[in-house]
């Protein structure tokens, strides 16, 4: 399955109160692929549960990624 959100550009994403991203219960919810990304203030929910799919709320292998203030 595809992520609900792919961040492929250097950006700052700040969620306002109550902002949520839902993966619908399959796979990764947010995949960060660009360097220099800040992701904060979101509720991230609905990732998959299959170990072989490596499901997760947020994944990144990009340098200089900051994730904070996330509610699971």
Give the pLDDT confidence of 5-47 residue by residue, as tens digits.
999 999 999 999 999 999 998 889 999 999 999 999 999 999 9
Q: How far apart are CA 1 and CA 13, in angstroms?
A: 23
* pLDDT band (50, 70, 90) for residue 1: low
* CA-based nearest residue to 15, from 32, 45, 36, 38: 38
Q: How far apart are CA 32 and CA 51, in angstroms?
A: 20
* pLDDT band (50, 70, 90) for residue 50: confident
User: ∠59-65-69 over CA atoms, to 5°?
Assistant: 80
Alpha-carbon distance values, 18 to 3, 7, 22, 32, 35 (Å): 20, 20, 12, 21, 26
pLDDT of residue 43: 96
């Amino acid at each position: 399955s595809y992520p609900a959100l792919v961040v492929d550009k250097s950006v700052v994403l700040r969620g306002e109160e109550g902002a949520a991203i839902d993966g619908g219960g399959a796979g990764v919810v947010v995949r960060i692929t660009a360097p220099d990304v800040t992701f904060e203030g979101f509720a991230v929910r609905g990732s998959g549960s299959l170990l072989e799919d490596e499901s997760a709320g947020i994944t990144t292998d990009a340098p200089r990624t900051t994730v904070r203030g996330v509610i699971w």
